[in-house]
Amino acid sequence: MSASSPEGQDGASARILVGFGPGIDANGLLQEEYVVKTLDNALYIVGEQKSREPMATSYGVYRFLDRELGVRWLWIRIRGQLLTRDDTGDTGSTLDS
């Protein structure tokens, strides 16, 4: 079985790049600030990197998954269940933490 990559208008594969991007200065961002940017056939998610525990890139990824793809995480005790919106009504699979 082979997988296919989505293609942009020019036939190049679409890409998602996390943590770096052209023209985005991660060191110039405020604490917990992130940028979500598209350029050509790529989506860039870049967060601030200066703080002791930089979480900004993660926050950008979570926001993208939540707002653009409809992914939701619900955590109950030790185990959680990943839920997504789709046409089938399938609620996803159980994840171990």
Residue 20 in domain: yes
For 30, list phi and psi in degrees, rounded to 5. -75, 165
Residue 96 in domain: no
Residue 3 in domain: no
**Using CA atoms, how far apart are residues 42 and 8, in angstroms rounded to an integer?**
9
pLDDT one digit per residue (tens) for the chain, 97 residues: 344 455 555 667 889 999 888 888 888 889 889 999 998 889 999 999 887 777 899 999 999 999 999 887 776 555 555 555 665 555 454 444 3
Residue 43 in domain: yes
Residue 30 in domain: yes
Domain span holding position 19: 15-70
Number of domains comprising the chain: 1
pLDDT for res 10: 61
3-class DSSP state of 15: strand
Residue 79 in domain: no
**Using CA atoms, how far apart are residues 45 and 16, in angstroms rounded to an integer?**
8
pLDDT for res 95: 46
Residue 48 in domain: yes
What residues contact residue 5 under an 8 Å CB cut-off, 6+ apart? 13, 14
Residue 50 in domain: yes
